[in-house]
Structure 1
Amino acid sequence: MSAQSTPGPGIAGEPGTNGPRRRAKGRRRKPRGRHHKGLLITAWTAAGIVVLGGTGLGYVYFTLNGNLKSVDIDQVLGTDRPTKADNGSQNILVLGSDTRSGSNKALGGGTDDGSARSDTALILHVYEGHRKAGVVSIPRDTLIDRPACTDTDGGTHPAASGVMFNSAYSTGGAVCAVKTVESLTGLRMDHYLEVDFSGFQKLIDELGGVEITTTRDINDPDSHLDLKAGPHRLTGEQALGLVRTRHGVGDGSDLGRIQLQQAFLKALLKQVKDIGLFGNPKKLYDLADTATKTVTTDSGLGSVNSLMSFASGLQGIDAPDMTMVTMPVVYDPADPNRVLLEKTKAQQVWTALKNDRPIPKSATEGTATGEAEGVVN
């Protein structure tokens, strides 16, 4: 299955970015130790379904409810925000983060300083009727103008120009990340989900692994992933390696990693739909317990009841109903390790989503790609 498969109704044209560009010799991007792990929106949807089947006893409900962490983003941001849609469509900002401590340190190799980073960002747009969805991946290396923001502790952070997109989270946390995305897109983020990659690994193991097929060998010492071309059932550790991999595929950039992530997400969604969790109450509970410990949400999703309602609204979305694109960008001619927003094409994406319309094919033509499409099916 391609990372950018042909969509069903609701998305126009073929999704994804085109116009492959080979990086000139000597301009390959520098290795980084940061890790991508923001692909849990589908697993979390499954976890919400799990909660639906696993909360028959009061103590189970209160245990799961007590696992959840939430941030009151609406209160901090106030009313100076894009207008909410009135047709039932939703935009959800999904971030992958790590605290560089505890089990995350063991997996990621960072310093045990308690600091947090966000290396993956997805905008999930659920169309009216909740039968189709679109995902727009925002490359962390995109240079943007970050707005001034206030964090949940009341700290203020001045605006900054020409900074990396993922600096918004490291500067002001979830609130600053949401404000930056809303400033960038003009879209209201109705909800926020943040996941950490130690929980990602455990969740994949509890699901029994995820089946994928690689069309070529992948060997990336940095992510500790070594896969021969062919079918695989990935363990949690291997899955984490796959969504972190950048040097073993494509042009070695974050854009190539995004293409792997999108392909993995579709494989994960298909498997969650097929494994029949409701016949195994212990597995249902274990999955829900892990998922609720793994995520941080906005306060609107900060209870099991709210998550049940949210997840049940997404049950009708299967892998073929989810179209994935990367935010239109071009390589920065001044720095091969950065990308720049292709403003005209990006505006086509934001306008389409704002109006709950298909993303036009022209919006992603001729933009930068990671040259890793089709490596994972």
Structure 2
Amino acid sequence: MSLAPRAGDAPDGGGRRGGGRGGPTAGRPRRRRRVLRWSATVLAVVILGTAGAGYLYYQHLNGNIQKGARSSGDDSKALRTRPNAAGQTPLNILLIGSDSRNSARNLELGGSRSSVGSPPLADVQMLIHLSADRRSAAMVSIPRDTRVDIPKCTDPKTGKVYPATNDIINTTLARGGAGCTLATWENLTHVYIDHWMMIDFAGVVNMADAIGGVEVCVKQNVWDHSTPAQRGGSGLKLTAGRHKVKDVQALQWLRTRHAWGSDLMRARAQHMYLNSMMRTLRQQNVFTDTGRLMDLAEAATKSLKVSEEIGTVKKLYDLGMEMKSVPSNRITSVTMPNVDDPSNSEHVVPAKGADRIWQMLRDDVALDKNGKSSGSGAKKAGSAAPAKAPSVDAARLGVLVQNATRSATDAPVPHRAGAIVQALAGKGYGRAAADTSAALSEDRTVVRYPSADLEGDAQAVAKALGIPMDQVKQSTDVSGVTLVVGADWRTGTAYPKASAPKAGDLPSDADAINGADTSPCMPVYKPYQW
């Protein structure tokens, strides 16, 4: 998508909220100058690959690491994928880049003083998925301006409760910390996320120096500078071809937006940088170079905050070793398929293809085609625990059916709950009733139950309609067995059977990049060519 200048656009240095896919807007001045959003993610992955310095002055490095609760959200909709035959499970880590300016160094790197003291935004969000057998990996990004349902979250520091809302995903960090961002991802994808890692601006320049530079490529001469039509810019200036960037120049590459044409193209440039950096680390003898290893570990741990269950250097080192075991040609970077938000053109919403990516992650199916099989060997999430016996006969069980077929792009299906109630009556559930309140919004159909004694009853309802067992979930939000008919079931009275995804069967609009591919070069939007 091109970045056509808009009336009222302002320099990058203004603020943080506002703007959209192509650039900031005058009405929301706090969204300017998103320095290092993806730089933070890059730094996090470096940590995953180099945290072995934990074996050097271990206690000192442990003291550098900040920790927080894994989730601050209410009632997760995600279930763990069951272990494969070897007892292995996939590993999902959410990498978050905070745009906090609440330190002198972050302010120097991030710009606007008007942002000091404000809650940070989560403008960098990437899920790293390691397959159960650790033979493939995926890195999936969600654009910062994606409008999503955000669950109720509780701030772990203040105890303040934020009610559920519908907003762009980068606001989640200010509504309960990284744990709220994680809960929102689980709410959207139904992928269980094991850990989060969050980085701010401060360590990025030092990390770039410690690594020794990363190779990037541009198709034309690029200069991301302020123009009469579009104020601001990163200052990146390179001639066409390949360059090894580090220090401030690496930072400029990662914050460039205007010269690439859009925020979404910036994500592609950052994926390319990330893949190149990982290849660079593989080629270096980091683990035998004590000085470099200590520099990397020191910079990384001082800039890192993680979910508390992985809050030691030893655990981060173990994660790094698992990541390092994946070959470059089995690592795939994608951006969530998205379309313009029909209610606000400055935002986006998930496209249909996003569901396929979420299913591949839930089922642990490789995003590349370079493996020996269509998946890692883990059992699909649908292979839930054995069904339990119902506590009462179907005719005596009360079942509430809710219409949640509304989505970001489609209106709710009228009388949908009533149609499913009739189907349940035909299966012997004569006490099923439709919820007459306003239509809800759920991407995926789910059967919820409040307590363990009703688990078997909920499973029986799901079985009667062909709903997979992994979509049966205990929840404190319901008082009895409740069938929530989601946007994935808009027609028919038998739950549609989805075809199992195959390895590498990605949507065409996922902008996939293979980690071993050294050929991509960024095209430069013409106003920024020189």
> Quick one: which amino acid aligns to residue 358 of structure 1?
A
Asked if 1 retains the 8 angstrom alpha-carbon contact of 2:153 and 2:175, the reply is no
Deviation at 1:333, TM superposition (A): 5.2
1:288 correspondence with 2:297? yes
> Quick one: which amino acid aligns to residue 139 of structure 1?
P
Worse-matched range after superposition: 295-304 or 81-90: 81-90
Deviation at 1:368, TM superposition (A): 8.7
> Quick one: which amino acid aligns to residue 78 of structure 2?
P
Match of 2:33 in 1: 33
After superposition, the C-alpha distances for 1:326-377 in whole angstroms (9 at most, x for unaligned) are 11101235544221211x32111111110101346665225799xxx7318x
Asked if 1 retains the 8 angstrom alpha-carbon contact of 2:137 and 2:366, the reply is no
Number of residue equivalences: 342
Q: Distance in 1 between matches of 2:64 and 2:315?
A: 14
For structure 2, the 5+ residue unaligned runs are 8-20, 25-31, 84-88, 226-232, 368-500, 513-519, 524-530
Q: Distance in 2 between matches of 1:24 and 1:367?
A: 23
Q: Distance in 1 between matches of 2:318 and 2:74?
A: 25
* SS, match of residue 223 in structure 2: strand
Q: Which residue of the other structure, out of 275, 282, 305, is the alignment partner of 1:273?
A: 282
Deviation at 1:25, TM superposition (A): 8.4
After superposition, the C-alpha distances for 1:136-174 in whole angstroms (9 at most, x for unaligned) are 11000111121111121221001112x111011122211
Q: Which residue of the other structure, out of 184, 191, 201, is the alignment partner of 2:188?
A: 184
Q: Distance in 1 between matches of 2:129 and 2:23?
A: 32
After superposition, the C-alpha distances for 1:276-324 in whole angstroms (9 at most, x for unaligned) are 1233212211111111111111011101121122212222124322101
Worse-matched range after superposition: 25-34 or 150-159: 25-34
TM normalised by structure 2 equals 0.61
Match of 1:340 in 2: 349
> Quick one: which amino acid aligns to residue 241 of structure 1?
Q
Q: Distance in 2 between matches of 1:198 and 1:351?
A: 36
Match of 1:126 in 2: 130
Q: Which residue of the other structure, out of 332, 335, 356, is the alignment partner of 2:364?
A: 356
Q: Distance in 2 between matches of 1:23 and 1:335?
A: 17
Q: How does 1:131-142 map to 2 (within 5 A)?
A: 131-142=135-146
Match of 2:101 in 1: 100
Q: Distance in 2 between matches of 1:89 and 1:195?
A: 23
After superposition, the C-alpha distances for 1:206-232 in whole angstroms (9 at most, x for unaligned) are 111112222222221221211111221
Q: Which residue of the other structure, out of 248, 251, 256, is the alignment partner of 1:245?
A: 256
Match of 2:235 in 1: 224
Q: Distance in 2 between matches of 1:24 and 1:291?
A: 37
Asked if 1 retains the 8 angstrom alpha-carbon contact of 2:74 and 2:183, the reply is no
After superposition, the C-alpha distances for 1:107-163 in whole angstroms (9 at most, x for unaligned) are 1102232632221100111111112101111000111121111121221001112x1
For structure 1, the 5+ residue unaligned runs are 1-20
* SS, match of residue 338 in structure 1: strand
Distance 1:196 1:319, change over 3 A: farther
* SS, match of residue 337 in structure 1: strand
* SS, match of residue 265 in structure 1: helix
TM normalised by structure 1 equals 0.84
* SS, match of residue 202 in structure 1: helix
Deviation at 1:78, TM superposition (A): 7.6
Q: How does 1:295-314 map to 2 (within 5 A)?
A: 295-314=304-323
Q: Distance in 1 between matches of 2:140 and 2:321?
A: 22
Q: Distance in 2 between matches of 1:278 and 1:124?
A: 23
Match of 1:174 in 2: 178
Q: Distance in 1 between matches of 2:74 and 2:339?
A: 34
Asked if 2 retains the 8 angstrom alpha-carbon contact of 1:131 and 1:314, the reply is no
Asked if 2 retains the 8 angstrom alpha-carbon contact of 1:332 and 1:339, the reply is yes
> Quick one: which amino acid aligns to residue 159 of structure 1?
A
Match of 2:18 in 1: none
Deviation at 1:198, TM superposition (A): 2.0
* SS, match of residue 80 in structure 2: coil
Q: How does 1:358-377 map to 2 (within 5 A)?
A: 358-359=366-367, 363-366=506-509, 374-375=521-522
Percent of matched pairs sharing the same residue: 31
Distance 1:22 1:68, change over 3 A: closer
Asked if 2 retains the 8 angstrom alpha-carbon contact of 1:61 and 1:304, the reply is yes
Asked if 2 retains the 8 angstrom alpha-carbon contact of 1:40 and 1:195, the reply is yes
> Quick one: which amino acid aligns to residue 46 of structure 1?
G
Q: Which residue of the other structure, out of 234, 241, 246, is the alignment partner of 2:245?
A: 234
Q: Distance in 2 between matches of 1:310 and 1:46?
A: 8
